[in-house]
Amino acid sequence: MRNAESGISIETRNRRAMSSDGNNHRREEQVAGVISARAGKLLLLSAAVISLLSTSVLAAQTKPLAVLEGKLVTTRGDCPLVEINGHSQSLTAYTPALFHTLQDKRLNGREVRLEGLRQPDGSFQVQWLYTIHNGKLFRVRYFCSTCNIVALEPGNCVCCQQPTELQEVPVVKQDN
């Protein structure tokens, strides 16, 4: 029996449709296989990158920190320095908040203990900052007494926009 409009028999059309469905199914399986293979490669690559990053992070964490003690100098432009026995060491910081603390003019001339890493460019990257008074260590923090909020860096309170107060808190054994 022929379809009057197309001139193709209904049987031929049905065979073509079934054949087309079979080809589509095979194509879908091939595409799914390619996608699965790509996803597997991506997963493997991601695992390798994570492994490398975690290894380097752990290596950086296990590297012992160097210690510098001297007077903090914050008056020379944007680069804070520590003076040790007449020698000036340029400082960088592990975080922007810590770098802003090192630049705080209120800390200028204070005896400090800096723990961190020496950098290839000759600077010292500070990871921990302490002030020293009578041989005892103090943590530096910024506090708004109006809002009772502790800030990580100098500047205005995030709540009331009033200037924060520099505070030096004695270090207890578990802090250090």
Q: Return the structure tokens found at 65.
A: 């920190």
Q: Please identify which residue in the block is written with the tokens 């506090």.
A: 143
Encode pLDDT of 103-152 as tens digits. 999 999 999 999 999 999 999 999 999 999 999 999 999 999 999 999 98
**CATH T-level topology, domain 66-170:** OB fold (Dihydrolipoamide Acetyltransferase, E2P) (2.40.50)
pTM over 0.75: no
Q: Which letter does DSSP use for residue 125 in this model?
A: E
Strand partners, 81: 73, 90
